[in-house]
Structure 1
Amino acid sequence: MKRAFCAFILLAASLGSPAAANVDPSGPEARLQITQLLLDKSSRRLYLLNGKKAVRSYQVDLGSNPAGPKQFQSDGRTPEGLYHITHRNPHSNFFLSLGISYPNDRDRARARALGRDPGGDIFIHGRGARVQNPPRDWTRGCAAVTDREMAEIFDLVPPGTPIFIKP
């Protein structure tokens, strides 16, 4: 686990370059297998990676209070740390969605220390028909993209894929 976390940290640092942010979403690299995800909260970007190479990049909307890690239910924050995609939900209220493995043991302990429920149901999702022209950060802690982008992500990312969410 520690080795995987270190690899994600090195990868996150390398994605700070402008070249990584300008990945061509229609290029030939789109046919590659997605092996990991990086959600960079500070730049509000989601990267789909094959190994250490970003093959897709999307602008994301976050929770209504995005600074800092999620601490408890209804705090409006998006988690931070290493998680994985748990499942695909084709019947999401927000078009399509991919479940994120929040809360983990550390998250539950943090919430318990505050006397709170850690919450759950953290996803990468689209907007759906009910959400048109949302403000920048409108979710309850999820990462949201356009419906067209979500359809692409949904098809490319299998359950079990690791996702590192960095501040």
Structure 2
Amino acid sequence: MWATSVAAAMLAGAALLHGSPSAGAGEVLKADKIVVVKSERRLYLLHGGEIIKSYRVALGRQPKGTKIYEGDGRTPEGVYRVAAFNPDSRFYRSIRVSYPNEADLTRARALGQSVGGNIMIHGLAPERRQFGSDHWLYNWTSGCIAVTDKEIDEIWQRVELGTPIEIRP
């Protein structure tokens, strides 16, 4: 586990959400980093190294290992950034991950494959909305990171263009 105690970190995060000196009345505390831990199927929003919120996620249909080439169904692993916001996504809303990085490009080229792109953190596909908060029980994306529509709204408010995203195994 990447944190000493996720429960302790969550309690610390709850304290940050309510009454933090860095967030004024009515302001939402912004995350300065996103961490996705694929083995936990969790996305964490962090501020100052503390977890301020966590979400259960669905991943690519092949969740183990990093993305190697376009169409492999894997979610990439590595360090990226928030690259864009799409309010009109087929998946309700989406936040573009700056995939591919140099390591991704090098790996795909060495295999003679297209590296692909369009990796997003997004809400639910229309055909998945019926699963609601249980959507994470199935890895159904093509390599993206999916949360509920309500959760993508929360994430959308808490991150900015350029926010670092670390995707771990």
Task: Report if the CA contact (8 A) 1:35-1:49 is conserved.
Answer: yes
**Cα offsets for 1:103-154 (capped at 9, x unmatched):** 1121111011111101100000000433232561000000000001011111
Counterpart in the other structure of 1:17: 6
Task: Report if the CA contact (8 A) 1:63-1:143 is conserved.
Answer: yes
Q: Which stretches in structure 2 are left out of the alignment for 5+ residues?
A: 21-26
Is 1:153 matched up with 2:155?
A: yes
Q: Which TM-score applies when normalising by structure 2?
A: 0.84
Name the count of aligned residue pairs. 156
Map 1:36-75; keep pairs closer than 5 Å. 36-75=33-72
**Aligned-residue identity in percent:** 44
- Alpha carbons of structure 1 residues 112 and 63: separation in structure 2 relative to 1, 3 Å: same
Task: Report if the CA contact (8 A) 2:92-2:125 is conserved.
Answer: yes
Take 1:39 and 1:15, find their aligned partners in 2: how far apart are those partners? Answer: 16
The root-mean-square deviation of aligned C-alpha atoms, in Å, is: 2.2
Cα distance, 1:100 vs. partner? 0.3
Q: Which TM-score applies when normalising by structure 1?
A: 0.85
Cα distance, 1:16 vs. partner? 5.1
- Alpha carbons of structure 1 residues 142 and 21: separation in structure 2 relative to 1, 3 Å: farther
